[in-house]
Homo-oligomer: A and B are copies of this chain.
Amino acid sequence: MVKTETKQKILEVGAEIIRKKGYNNTGIQQILQAAGIPKGSFYFYFKNKQDFGMAVIDYYTEIIGSRFQTFFNDPQYDSITKLREFFKSHNEMFESENFEGGCPIGNLAQEMSDQDEIFRKKIEKTISLYLDASTKLIEEAKKEGTITTNYPAQSLAEFIFNSWEGAIIRMKVEKSLTPLIHFDKLVFEHLLQ
């Protein structure tokens, strides 16, 4: 493997282990072993575990961002449907994973926000990128008349995002899609109407 491929491999494998086991509960050796990368080569690519943690957040930010863009730019949907379909698009994946893992950003937010200020700021920034994009969709939906509430778009976007994160945690407890189905109906058929 060339250098960038090795780095990418460590990142892909490590990100998934951290999503499922937690950051503190995951060792660098465990990641390298799972990735089939020789012991000791980690520090060739990452300064330390925290530096790797930042790369994991970037990795997921990019994946989630590109998934968001797919719906954001889909001309077949009006603005509110774009947002709704973005959320719903995760359900198949969650189901295929037996409702384990959940949201990597939400997990790290819960685990790391009190423990590491660099993590907290990085997570805050990632969330704000998503919130800016979804706030725009809600503003558009207000103009299109598909949302009639006069509550500010940004507050709605924040509440919806937080509720989704809560629903995902509940999915992990219930091992069922039901919390996400309630989330979808209550937000898009009640709250925003």
Determine the interface band of chain A, counting residues with CB < 8 A from chain B.
Answer: 35 or more
Instruction: Tell whether A113 pairs with B172 under 8 Å between CB atoms, given A159-B182, A166-B163, A167-B166.
Output: yes
What is the chain B residue whose CB lies nearest that of A155?
B182
Once the chains are docked, how many angstroms separate the CA of A172 from the CA of B10? 29
Q: Are A173 and B115 in contact (CB under 8 A)?
A: no
List B contacts of A167 (CB < 8 A).
159, 162-163, 166
Chain B nearest CB from A173 CB (Å) reads 5
Q: Are A172 and B106 in contact (CB under 8 A)?
A: no
Number of copies: 2
Chain B nearest CB from A40 CB (Å) reads 25
Chain B nearest CB from A139 CB (Å) reads 17
Chain B nearest CB from A150 CB (Å) reads 10
Question: Does A12 touch B at the CB level, under 8 Å?
Answer: no
Question: Does A111 touch B at the CB level, under 8 Å?
Answer: yes
Q: Are B20 and A173 in contact (CB under 8 A)?
A: no
Instruction: Tell whether A120 pairs with B173 under 8 Å between CB atoms, given A24-B25, A158-B182, A164-B166.
Output: yes
What string of 1s and 0s marks CB contacts (under 8 Å) between A101-127 and chain B? 110001101110111000010011001
What string of 1s and 0s marks CB contacts (under 8 Å) between A163-178 and chain B? 1111101101111001
What 9 additional pairs, Cβ within 8 angstroms, besides A107-B110, A162-B163, A163-B163? A20-B114, A22-B24, A106-B110, A124-B174, A158-B182, A161-B170, A162-B169, A162-B183, A166-B166
Residues of A within 8 A of B (CB): 20-22, 24-25, 100-102, 106-107, 109-111, 113-115, 120, 123-124, 127, 149, 151, 155-156, 158-159, 161-167, 169-170, 172-175, 178-179, 182-183, 185-186, 190-191
